[in-house]
């Protein structure tokens, strides 16, 4: 067998890998990034408010409100990603947070933000996969006329 045929055969085998496993890994991976940030904000909320006031300087929102909004989103939306409930909807506020972070907070961290946005984009466009509550709900919904 030639090298080209072996490579094609290997690609065919790799393409059989279940997308749902990859989607689960993507959901957990990007969710953990946000969840850890939320835990950090929760565990040191006073310091977080100072960061929002002195360093982040998010426009239009009081630092206390911006810090609380970020913390609540970072602690709740990843949980939805983890279990796959309202998954596509949960990606949208995270996209918004990324846009704010990229624009106002850490504009030089575009490589990380691009990676997280691409991950969220895959989840948004492909859905959560079969290892999700969304899949179970949709399956049950289809089975009952």
Query: Is residue 14 one of the residues assigned to a domain?
Result: no
Phi, psi of 76 (to 5 degrees): -105, -45
d(CA 141, CA 131): 16
Q: What is the pLDDT of residue 144?
A: 67
Q: How far apart are the first and last CA of the chain?
A: 52
Query: Is residue 11 one of the residues assigned to a domain?
Result: no
Query: Is residue 8 one of the residues assigned to a domain?
Result: no
Residue 109: give the domain boundaries.
19-143
Query: Is residue 74 one of the residues assigned to a domain?
Result: yes
Query: Is residue 137 one of the residues assigned to a domain?
Result: yes
Q: Which long-range contacts (CB under 8 A, 24 or more apart) does 135-143 make?
A: 135/84
pTM: 0.89
Q: What is the pLDDT of residue 145?
A: 62
Q: At 64, is the pLDDT very low, low, confident or very high (cuts 50, 70, 90)?
A: very high
Domain count, the chain: 1
């Amino acid at each position: 067998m030639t090298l080209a045929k072996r490579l094609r055969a290997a690609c065919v085998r790799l393409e059989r890998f279940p997308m749902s496993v990859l989607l689960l890994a993507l959901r957990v991976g990007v969710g953990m990034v946000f969840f850890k940030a939320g835990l950090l904000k929760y565990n040191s909320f006073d310091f977080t408010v100072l960061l929002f006031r002195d360093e982040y300087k998010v426009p239009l929102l009081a630092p206390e409100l911006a810090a609380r909004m970020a913390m609540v989103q970072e602690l709740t939306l990843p949980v939805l990603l983890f279990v796959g409930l309202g998954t596509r909807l949960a990606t949208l506020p995270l996209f918004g947070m990324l846009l704010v972070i990229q624009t106002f907070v850490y504009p030089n961290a575009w490589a990380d933000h691009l990676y997280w946005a691409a991950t969220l984009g895959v989840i948004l466009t492909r859905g959560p996969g079969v290892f999700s509550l969304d899949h179970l709900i949709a399956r049950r919904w289809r089975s009952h006329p």
